[in-house]
Structure 1
C-alpha cells in the first residue's frame, strides 16, 4: 500500500489479542519499531521496507532492509528459533554460532560479514552466505588460516589397508566361532518354543512383525494429505510458519495466502461446516476431487482433516477473483473488463462446468457454489473455478443457508435442487458480468433481508429493463465502449436470461447453454438482423445504434 513514516506501536498496544503483524512491501523508514510493547505478538513481518540503523539484542528483524552493525547475539539464545533471514542488509562482523537443534534455515547473503562460517551452519548451503567477500569456511572456500592436511604417502595408505583387512579377518573368525558354540543349544530347543507369543508377554519384535505383515496403514489424517503428485511437498508446520495474509473471511470459510519458505505460494481455505460425512467418506471424496484435471478448474493440492474443521490447500492465483474485477474500485490504471475478456471468461466457465457435469454424473449439482468470487483469473484472464463439488461434504443446514445453489427459485419454492440448478447459477453469473450489478439475493440467509430491504433478483431486474426497452442501460458502463459487438452482447444477455429462467421446465439444460455460449462472437456478423425473431423480448428496433446510446469510441 506504499505506507510510510513511523509505525505507531503505542496505538497497537490497545489490541491485546494481536498475534501477527505484517507491514511487508511498504516504505517505512527509521529504526525498527519497539514491538516488545506488544506482549501477545508471536510473528512480525517487516521485509521490503526502508528500516535502518542497528538492531539491539532484544529485537526481531527481517531481510531486505538497511540494518547495520553486528548480528544480534540474542538470537543464539532463542531455543525455538527455526529460521533466520538477514539477507540484503549491511550487517558487519562475524556470524553468531547458532546451535539450536531445530534451526532449519539461515540466510545472511549480501551483507558485509567476515570470518569463518560456524560449523553448525555448514549444512545451510552456499547460497545462504554469498555476497559476503570476507566469509570463509564450509560450505565456502577454506579460510587462509586453515591448513590443508597433507596427503598421506603411498606407503602409509598400504599399511592402513593391510591393517584393515587383518581386522576384518579376525572379526569374521570370532563370529564363526561364536555361532558354532551356540548351534547345539539352538537345535535342542522344542518347536513350540520357537513360535511367537500371542498372549500377553509377547515381545516387541513379534508385535513389529505382525504390524509389518498386516494390512497397509491408512494415511494419517491428522496431517496434511496430498492428492497431487506434481507439486512440491510440505507439511502442516510449514504452512503455520509461512508468511500469511488473509484473502477473505466469510460465513462459509476463511481464506489465507501462505508464502512457504521453500518458494511456492498456496491458498489455505478453512472450513468448519464440513461435518456431513465421516472420515473415510471425506477422504474418498477428496481423492475424487484430486483426480479432476481441466484448464478451467483450480485443482486441489492437499487437505487436512480434523473433526472440528478442515483445510483445503490449492495454488495461489495472482490475478484475483472475477468479483474483484467486476466490483472492486476502478481507476485509469485498472479499468473494468472489456467485452472480449468477459466473453472469454464466460466461455471458460461454461467449459469448466461442463467438465464437472461429465466427470461427476452422480452429483445433482456438481458445482453448487458458482458465483463471481469463486471464479479466479490467471495472468491471461482465463477463468479457474473454485469451491466446486463441496455439497456432498458440507452439512445440509449450512449448505442451504450459505451455498449459491440453494438460493435458486426451485429450492426457495419447492425445497429441492435439480440438474439445472447449476445452470441457474451460470445464468446469474452471465447477467452479473454483463450488467456489472452484484446479485443481492446471494447475501440472504433464509428469510433475512439485506440492508433493511428485500434484495432485488438480478434476473427479474434485467427482464423488467428489457421490457421497458431501456436495453442500453442494462449493460455495465465499461461495455459501452464496445464497438460492433452490441448484437453479440444481446445474444449473451438472452442466454443468461434463459439459463436463469425461474421455471425449471423452461430453463435450458447445461448442454444447450454451453452450445449457445460457444456460438457467441466478439463482433457482430450481421448487426441489424442478428437475434431478432418473433416471440423474442428484443425487437429489431431495440437493436439499432441510436436506441442503445452506446459510445462508439475505441
Structure 2
C-alpha cells in the first residue's frame, strides 16, 4: 500500500497530537495524584510520586508506584499492603479516568467517603478490604455507577444495612462484605453470575431465592439467616393473646423475686471480685494457657515480614478464638482464627531475651524473605522484652511425628514407602535451600526433628522452627535444641554446618524404623544412646527387614531403595564429623532414590555396599561390612 506525502504528513501530525495530548493529560493526572497523596499518611512507599512527570505509564508498567496502566494509558490506583493511614480524599480523584481503585490491606480507619464515590462514574472495581473502615454504608452510595463490577469491602467494621443502590449495578459480578457488622435482610439481588460473600455479619431472615444457588459458606456466621442453601426457615407460630398476659404476669413475679434476692445479697455481699474456689480452679484448669496467651501483649504491635498475607492488629489476634496446640521446650503454640476464618499459628517464646529489638527484628525480616515450597513461611512477629510471638500459617495435616508415633484409628493406614520417600526428599530440598540462603549461619536449621516437619494435605513436608539459633538464649538452646544432642556437641561442645546433616540422618532413621529418637527427650547434652546406635546393633548382624517399620507395607519391589536410604541415613549419622557426609552429597543420593527397584538394582547392591562401607559411620564398630 502506498501513501501520498500529504497523507503521511497528516498521519504523523495526528500521532504527534495524540502524544502531546497524552503527555498533557498525564501531567494533569500527576497533579491530582499528588494532591490525593497529601491526604494520606505513612506514605514512604510512594516516595517516587514526584512532579513534574511527562508520562505515568510505560506500556503496561507504571512510572509511579501503585498505579495501574493499560498499554500506555493510566487506568487505576492500586495501593495495597503499604501501611497507609489518614483520610481518603475521593473527591480529588473525580477528574481521573479511574477504572479501578484498591486500598486493600492498609491501616485506614474511620468512615470512607462513600457519598463522593458517585463522582468516579467510570469505576469498575472498588477494593477496600482489610482496613478498619467503620460506620454505615449510605443506601445511595453506588447510585448511577453502571460500570461497577466488583465491590470488595470485607474485613472492616461497617455497620448498618446492605445498601440498596447495589441492586442498580447491572454488571455486578463480585460482592464481598464478609467480616463486618452489617445487619438486616439481604436484598433481592437479580444480577446474573453474581458471587457474594456475606459471612460473619449480623444478617437475618430468609436468603433471597436469587442467591439460593450460592455456596452455603458464603452465608456462614449469620446465626439468624435461613433458607436455601442454609437450613429451611421455620414457620412462625401465632401466639394466643392469653399467652402475652401470662408472660406479663410471670415477668412481674420474676422481677419481684429478683429484687428481693438482690436486697438480701447486698446485706451479705462478699468482697469485690471474689469467686467460688471450685469455679476458680475449674476455670483455671480450662483456660490457663489461653489466658497466658493474652497476657502482657495489649500495648504491643505486630510487625509483618511478608506482603502476601492479610494484615491485622495484635488486638484482633488476641480477641480471636484460640486453641492450645501444645507446649514444648521453647514455649506454647496456639491455633487462632480471625477475619476470613483462615487459621494461623502463634508460637510464644520466652527464651529470647538476650537479643535486642533491632537485632531480633532484622533477623525476623531476613527469615520473612525466605520462600520455598518446603519451608513454613514466617508471616509476622511481636517483640516484647520478656516474650516474643512468631505468626505462621496453620498446616492442616499435623507433624510427621504425629503420623509416625501418634494413635491411629483401626482403619487408618500408616505412611507407606512412597509417602515417606516423598517426605524425606522434600525435607532435604528445604534444608538445601536454607543452606544456600543462610550461608553465614553455623546452623541453618538447628532444630530439625519429626515434630518440626509439618505435612500438608498432599503430604508435602514443610520445615518449621528453622534458623532460630541466633535469637534463642544459648543456655536454653543447649538444653532443648536437637543440634546440641549431636555427637560433636556432647563430646566437644561444638556444632558445625554438618550438625544439621546429623539431624537429617536421625530423621531418616526415624522415618524408616518408626522408632522415636529417645535421646531427644533428655534435657542437656550428656552422653546418651541414640537411634543410630540401635540401628547399627541390628544391621551389623545382617541386613534384614527387622529394622524397617512394618507400617510401610514392605515389599520386595522397594526393599532395595529402602536399604539405600537407610545407608544414607547412617552415613549422615557418622559420629566423626570429618567422615560424615556433607549436605550436598546426602541430597544427591536422596534425589537418586526411586519408589521401586529396577531389574538392575539387585545386581548393584553388592558393589554399592562396598562404596558405602568405605564411608560408613564408625562408632564402636559401626560399619557396613555385612551389607
Gaps of 5+ in 2: 1-156, 160-182, 185-198, 208-218, 228-297, 614-622
| Aligned pair partner of 1:409 in 484, 487, 490 | 487
- 1:532 pairs with 2:606: yes
- CA-to-partner distance for each residue in 1:504-525, whole Å, 9 max, x for gaps? 0110001101111111111112
Partner of 2:192: none
- CA-to-partner distance for each residue in 1:130-150, whole Å, 9 max, x for gaps? 8469xxxxxxxxxxxxxxxxx
Gaps of 5+ in 1: 1-81, 85-93, 96-104, 114-124, 134-219, 449-453, 543-554
The 3 A distance-change label for structure 1 pair 266 and 532 is: same
- 1:222 pairs with 2:222: no
How far apart are the structure 1 equivalents of 2:520 and 2:223?
54
- CA-to-partner distance for each residue in 1:409-445, whole Å, 9 max, x for gaps? 0010000101100000000000000000000111111
The 3 A distance-change label for structure 1 pair 229 and 539 is: same
| Aligned pair partner of 1:252 in 296, 309, 330 | 330
How far apart are the structure 2 equivalents of 1:501 and 1:245?
41
| Aligned pair partner of 2:532 in 444, 453, 459 | 459
How far apart are the structure 2 equivalents of 1:457 and 1:341?
25
Partner of 2:368: 290
How far apart are the structure 1 equivalents of 2:425 and 2:341?
33
Displacement of 1:241 in angstroms is 1.2
- 1:479 pairs with 2:573: no
TM-score with structure 1 length normalisation? 0.58
Partner of 2:135: none
- CA-to-partner distance for each residue in 1:358-387, whole Å, 9 max, x for gaps? 001000110000000000011111110000
Are 1:109 and 1:127, in contact at CA under 8 Å, matched by a contact in 2? no
Partner of 2:468: 390
Q: Secondary structure at the match of 2:602?
A: coil
Are 2:403 and 2:415, in contact at CA under 8 Å, matched by a contact in 1? yes
Partner of 2:343: 265
Partner of 1:185: none
| Aligned pair partner of 1:517 in 585, 590, 595 | 590
The 3 A distance-change label for structure 1 pair 126 and 463 is: closer
Partner of 2:439: 361
The 3 A distance-change label for structure 1 pair 128 and 331 is: closer
Partner of 1:421: 499
- CA-to-partner distance for each residue in 1:75-100, whole Å, 9 max, x for gaps? xxxxxxx999xxxxxxxxx98xxxxx
- CA-to-partner distance for each residue in 1:273-324, whole Å, 9 max, x for gaps? 1123211000100010010000100010000000100000001111111101
Displacement of 1:243 in angstroms is 1.3
Displacement of 1:397 in angstroms is 0.5
Matches within 5 A, 1:258-407: 258-407=336-485
Displacement of 1:126 in angstroms is 13
The 3 A distance-change label for structure 1 pair 506 and 538 is: closer
How far apart are the structure 1 equivalents of 2:497 and 2:485?
15
Are 1:484 and 1:527, in contact at CA under 8 Å, matched by a contact in 2? no
Displacement of 1:239 in angstroms is 1.1
Displacement of 1:481 in angstroms is 3.1
The 3 A distance-change label for structure 1 pair 130 and 510 is: same
**Higher-RCO chain (CA-CA 8 Å, sequence separation at least 6):** 1
How far apart are the structure 1 equivalents of 2:428 and 2:375?
11
Are 1:270 and 1:312, in contact at CA under 8 Å, matched by a contact in 2? yes
- 1:488 pairs with 2:561: yes
How far apart are the structure 2 equivalents of 1:252 and 1:127?
35
The 3 A distance-change label for structure 1 pair 445 and 539 is: closer
Are 1:495 and 1:516, in contact at CA under 8 Å, matched by a contact in 2? yes
How far apart are the structure 1 equivalents of 2:223 and 2:417?
51
How far apart are the structure 1 equivalents of 2:582 and 2:522?
26
How far apart are the structure 2 equivalents of 1:226 and 1:522?
41
How far apart are the structure 1 equivalents of 2:221 and 2:504?
50
Displacement of 1:253 in angstroms is 1.6
Are 2:490 and 2:525, in contact at CA under 8 Å, matched by a contact in 1? no
Partner of 2:164: none
Q: Secondary structure at the match of 2:345?
A: strand
| Aligned pair partner of 1:107 in 201, 211, 221 | 201
Matches within 5 A, 1:13-32: none
Matches within 5 A, 1:9-48: none
Are 2:416 and 2:553, in contact at CA under 8 Å, matched by a contact in 1? no
